[in-house]
A = this chain, B = another copy of it.
Amino acid sequence: MSQSQSELLPRRRSIDTRKRLLDLAEQQVLAKGFVATSIEELVAGVGITKSGFFYHFKDKNDLARALLERHIVRERELLDDLFRRADELNDDPLHGFLVALRLFAEMMAALPEAHPGCIAATLCYQDQLFDRTIHELNAQSVLSWRVRFRERFARIVAAYPPAEPVDLDALADMMSTLIEGGLVMGRALRDPSILPRQVLLFRDFVRLTFRP
């Protein structure tokens, strides 16, 4: 998917310059947005020159793409891990899901400050500044959440047929929707508790919907 960069062993001095650029960029983008993060600021922070930046990234769009790709991978790993842990503790699909949601809410609540926002959402609102690949990566990531949750809900429905018909796609999207919205809200009100509380409300909704 990305360059062959990671396969070959990186050589030579300051092997991690690219990674340090990405780390600093991520931190600054989450704190103040992509546009407000200047290339000059990044290279100064990392201790290289502007030309050095353009050696690693074709342009600022390329930096955005790299940030987003890294974010998507991490996010997937985090969810995989979460559901694996929840399923280890539970055979029942509904119960396992509720446990995963609780774990997730606790993770969100434990984040140091108000989590400043999801890279995806940050880029999404400025995606006209970027090329199509950014938008497609974003869409693909959101869809993978939908697929993941819908599959869980299919198993839950099999075990706990709901009393009334449920829009499973929408229910799956609700999780992503509440997260993205919760980040916006948390940012607007400078209140980090909003996101975890919304996740717990979603958990209540799932519980009510599939209650035996």
Interface residues of A (CB under 8 A from B): 31-33, 35-36, 117, 120-122, 124-129, 135, 138-139, 142-143, 167, 170-171, 173-174, 176-182, 184-185, 187-190, 194, 197-198, 200-201, 204-205, 208-209
- B35:A184 contact, CB within 8 angstroms: no
A189–B33 CB distance below 8 A: no
Using A128-B36, A198-B173, A201-B170 as known contacts, say yes or no to A185 and B189 having CB atoms under 8 A apart: no
9 A-B residue pairs with Cβ-Cβ distance under 8 Å, sorted by A, are: A33-B125, A125-B126, A135-B188, A142-B188, A170-B198, A174-B178, A178-B178, A178-B181, A208-B208
CB neighbours (8 Å) of A167 from chain B are 197, 200-201
Grouping DSSP codes into helix (H, G, I), strand (E, B) and loop, the A interface class, with mixed when no group exceeds half, is: helix
Question: Is A171 touching B201 in the complex (CB atoms < 8 A)?
Answer: yes
Query: Given the complex, which residues of B lie within 8 Å of A143, measured CB to CB?
Result: 189
Shortest Cβ distance from residue A22 to the other chain B in the assembled complex, whole angstroms: 20
